[in-house]
Amino acid sequence: MAKYIYEYKNWTDFSWQDKSINVVFGEVRLMQGKIIGQMNALGFSAKEEATLTALTLDIIKSSEIEGELLNYDQVRSSIARRLGINTGGLVSSSRHIEGVVEMMLDATQRYNLPLTENRLFGWHAALFPTGYSGPYAIEVGRYRTGEIQVVSGPMGKEKVHYEAVKPELVKTEMDKFLDWFNNEKSLDPVLKAAIAHFWFIIIHPFDDGNGRIGRAITDMLLASAEGSGERYYSMSSQILAERNRYYEILQKVQHSSGNITEWLNWFLHCLKNAMLATENATQKILRKAEFWKLHENTPINERQRLILNKLFDDFEGKLQTSKWAKITKTSTDTALRDIKDLVEKGILKQTDEGGRNANYELFDLKPE
């Protein structure tokens, strides 16, 4: 069996080939600046909306990586409440969701505070408010005292993917990690985020929840890299999309003797992909914001406003009179009147497809 990275002397003196990561690292830094620029061009409420969406996704996807599905509306409402964002129809959320949200917001909104043992214990306790993970009682709010193995497969035929640092060494290793985290100032925070993620996962200091806390630490450093608690992209969503590769790389690099180039390379590409996904979403938000600015004095009724917003977000299928009537809960006559009114105003147009049912879409041209 190959040695684990932590079995080497001075294993945390990580090394990597700058040449291999320079291009993608440069692209990531450029995109960060570009996204922040785009967001600053948005109005205040659109910017809030973008932050709320990114944080909601981040929390939901980070839990989903662990196989746990959280309720979208509950998570979103919990974040909105804590950030003082006014969104209609807030729903109440479970104690568990409140805890997960608490941890994530503490990491991203207070990114400039030191990361201490007590703070980590607080995060851990917030993740497991009942002291249980599923049906199992776990050690909460403190480092583990037992051995830990990451395994898969049926009972009796388990495959060990990883055996973490011995419990008696966890505190020493974590002290070293926290000292580095709080005092290492020469590294670029984006690279620091990649290294911190790997380092923390290798120590695996808790009974459970290591992945989620590791990703919160990553988000904390990315917020620090941008000098802002406003989040516009979700690294966890992207990790979930690339989950198999994520585990594959971790498994491979956990046996290296300290060279983590492959991990950094994967992490930076993953981050770049997360930002590309955001760029597409941002374009949508920008188009929507521009549209409403253009039409701030156009008389538009509530039904029309509802459908137009849906068309800018994610409208499924074709827009027809019958669908309009169904969504707005009105008669087809009213729906047709609403549609014709928007066609006359140059906001909607009938598509070229013939047939019994006319389809409509947004007019893309901006009036001069």
**DSSP tag of 138:** -
| CB-neighbour burial class of residue 368 (10 A; exposed 0-12, middle 13-18, buried 19+) | exposed
CATH for 5-287 is 1.10.3290.10
In sequence order, what are the beta bridge partners of 104?
none
- SS3 assignment, position 114: coil
Give CA separation, 40 vs 43, 57, 85, 141, 202, in Å.
8, 21, 17, 38, 37
Model confidence, pTM: 0.83
Helix and strand counts by DSSP (H, E) for the chain: 14, 6
- SS3 assignment, position 160: strand
Cα separation, 172 vs 176, whole angstroms: 6
DSSP per-residue codes, 241-292? HTHHHHHHHHHHHTTSSSB-HHHHHHHHHHHHHHHHHHHHHHHHHHHHHHHH
Instruction: Please tell me the predicted confidence (pLDDT) of residue 38.
Output: 82
* Mean pLDDT of the residues in the chain: 92
The third-level CATH classification (topology) of the domain covering 298-362 is Arc Repressor Mutant, subunit A (1.10.10)
Cα separation, 86 vs 78, whole angstroms: 11
Chain center to CA of 70: 14
Instruction: Please tell me the predicted confidence (pLDDT) of residue 367.
Output: 40
Strands 132-133 and 136-137 come out as antiparallel
Instruction: Please tell me the predicted confidence (pLDDT) of residue 365.
Output: 44
Is the C-alpha dihedral spanning 144, 150, 154, 159 positive or negative?
negative
Residue 287, token pair as written in the block: 């188009």
Residue 244, token pair as written in the block: 């198999």
In sequence order, what are the beta bridge partners of 159?
152
In sequence order, what are the beta bridge partners of 362?
348
Instruction: Please tell me the predicted confidence (pLDDT) of residue 193.
Output: 98
Residue 270, token pair as written in the block: 């993953």
- The backbone torsions φ and ψ at residue 128, rounded to the nearest 5 degrees and listed phi first, read -125, 70
Instruction: Please tell me the predicted confidence (pLDDT) of residue 88.
Output: 66
Residues of the chain with pLDDT under 70: 88, 314, 354-356, 365-368
Instruction: Please tell me the predicted confidence (pLDDT) of residue 355.
Output: 63
Count of all residues that appear for the chain in the document = 368
Q: By the 8 A CB rule, do 42 and 62 touch?
A: no
Chain center to CA of 122: 21
Cα separation, 107 vs 136, whole angstroms: 27
Q: By the 8 A CB rule, do 219 and 108 touch?
A: yes
Cα separation, 360 vs 214, whole angstroms: 47
Cα separation, 2 vs 23, whole angstroms: 31
CATH 1.10.10.10 positions along the chain are: 298-362
Q: Above pLDDT 90, what percent of the chain?
A: 75
CATH 1.10.3290.10 positions along the chain are: 5-287
Instruction: Please tell me the predicted confidence (pLDDT) of residue 185.
Output: 95
